[in-house]
Amino acid sequence: MEFQKVYFLGIGGIGMSALARYFLHEGKKVAGYDRTPSHLTDELSAEGAAIHFEDDVRLIPAEFLDPAATMVVYTPAVPQEHGEYRYFADHGFRIEKRSQMLGHLAEGKYVMAVAGTHGKTTTSTLVAWLNRALTGGGSAFLGGISKNFGGNLVLDGCGVQGMRPPAGKGCAAAGSRLPGGRLAVEADEFDRSFLRLYPDVAVVTSADADHLDIYGTHEAVKEAFAQFVRQIRPGGFLVIKQGVDIVVDNPQITVYRYSYDVPCDFYARNVQLLEGGHYRYDIVVPGGVVEGCTLGIPGWVNIENSVAAVASVWCAARAEGVALDADALRGALASFSGVKRRFEFYVNTPRQVYMDDYAHHPRELAATLTSVQKMFPGRRITALFQPHLYTRTRDLYEEFAESLSHADEVGLLRQVVESTSYLVLLADHSKFFSGSFLSFCPIERVDLIISDTGLPADLCDEIRKKNIKLILA
């Protein structure tokens, strides 16, 4: 890349932060704007990025104001009328969307892309973990925080989140960035971003109606996925979930189907529920079976995700002319820790279970709830539903209602707050600047706040003045 400096508009997003972290480890100077502080922006700042939180051209570091030396990357969430965006556009800077930059970085790599309106984050993260176990390396740009890698960026088999860019040799050292081996990416359909990718192996988990504010119709969504399939490189592979209804008309690729337990090219059989919601199962692959698999995370839906991930690395191994190491594969599946906020358990006892899941689409929500039902038969299920995106809730409200019917009781977070007798707010200091919890209740409604020592002293004083108990850990 000819630019030595990269400026990010929306640097704190999950996808943008991975790119920013990559360029820091590439030795570039990185700066950026985001609307609110977060754990990700804190970590990027610690790694060397200069970040501010006001739309103000005067806050852009002076060394990033030279269009000959600075590349600008922005997320579609940043509006065209954004002040800093307008400045860069009006002064001749090269400006690219996040998806364009990801497309550039994928050039010359063996790209393993996971697409779908739901299920892609866990599946792509597992692909990255399997690549590490089976090849000793591999890189990845992920759409969530991997617990195994400790972040959303993987370089040469190593997670780098929270680390300062290394100066010597080793994981992600100079000269070892994104080696020509396998690159796992989450292919996001939002804003048709995934059409910037030309994968060697593509997984399509679903193509349901979503982002209708962008696409307009479900048919337009499916056509975008059909175009994504057409972009698979000649000699490549498509791994598509059984029953997904999209046009597959790329004659230069090999197509495989996968499912949870319906016989096809890749599927699970002999599924046995173990204690704590985990499962033991066999994975059927073309010409063989990988027996005695267990996944490190619970949930029926994750069996299906693991089948898709195994199919992806099976295809990559076939392209390389090698056989899958069944023992290494079983070990990697068993040691997979999952993704934060994807079927994540905080309490799992015989009396009570509390888990969090970023199930933002009706079908994904239904899969999560049915998984919980199978894991804990006979238990009462209460769902606390937080709508994600006004447009998605508006367009799919009937489907959401149907999905939530799998729970015995459903409450919105505001309703839960209003009905409780003692309210504890547990949040790191960055959340106090986003104001997100204020959408559910006024600060005066809180009885106890537990936060970290990064909470500013003046804010601590204001909290105590409202007779709210405060504990800093």
Instruction: Return the domain boundaries, the chain.
Output: 5-98, 107-335, 343-409, 420-473
- Residues 263-304 have pLDDT tens digits of 999 999 999 988 777 899 999 999 999 999 999 988 788 899
Task: Select from 3.90.190.20, 1.10.3720.10, 3.40.50.10860, 3.20.20.100 the CATH code of 343-409.
Answer: 3.90.190.20
- Residues 407-439 have pLDDT tens digits of 877 776 666 677 778 888 888 887 776 545 555
Residues 6+ apart with CB under 8 A from 429: 451, 452, 454, 455, 456
- Residues 72-84 have pLDDT tens digits of 999 888 888 999 9
- Dihedral (C-alpha) 26, 30, 32, 37: value to the nearest 10 degrees? 80
CATH H-level, domain 5-98: superfamily: NAD(P)-binding Rossmann-like Domain (3.40.50.720)
Place of tokens 């591999």: 138
3-class DSSP state of 399: helix
Instruction: Provide the pLDDT for residue 213.
Output: 62
Residue in 17, 14, 55 with CA at minimum distance from that of residue 33:
55
Residues of the chain with pLDDT under 50: 168-177, 435
Q: Name the percent of the chain lying above pLDDT 70.
A: 89
Burial class of residue 113 (count of CB atoms within 10 Å of its CB; 0-12, 13-18, 19+): buried
Burial class of residue 411 (count of CB atoms within 10 Å of its CB; 0-12, 13-18, 19+): middle
- Domain 107-335, second-level architecture: 3-Layer(aba) Sandwich (3.40)
Instruction: Provide the pLDDT for residue 178.
Output: 52
**Amino acid letter, residue 423:** L
Question: Regarding beta strands 288-294 and 279-285, do their DSSP bridges make them parallel or antiparallel, or are they unpaired?
Answer: antiparallel
Helix (H) or strand (E) holding 74: strand 70-74
Number of alpha carbons in the 13 Å side-chain half-sphere of residue 220 = 11
Do 5-98 and 343-409 share a fold?
no
CA distance 116 to 112: 14
Instruction: Provide the pLDDT for residue 407.
Output: 81
Global pTM value: 0.74
Burial class of residue 20 (count of CB atoms within 10 Å of its CB; 0-12, 13-18, 19+): buried
Phi, psi for residue 305 in degrees, rounded to 5: -60, -40
Between the CA of residue 200 and those of 88, 139, 253, 385, 401, what are the distances in Å?
Answer: 35, 15, 9, 38, 38
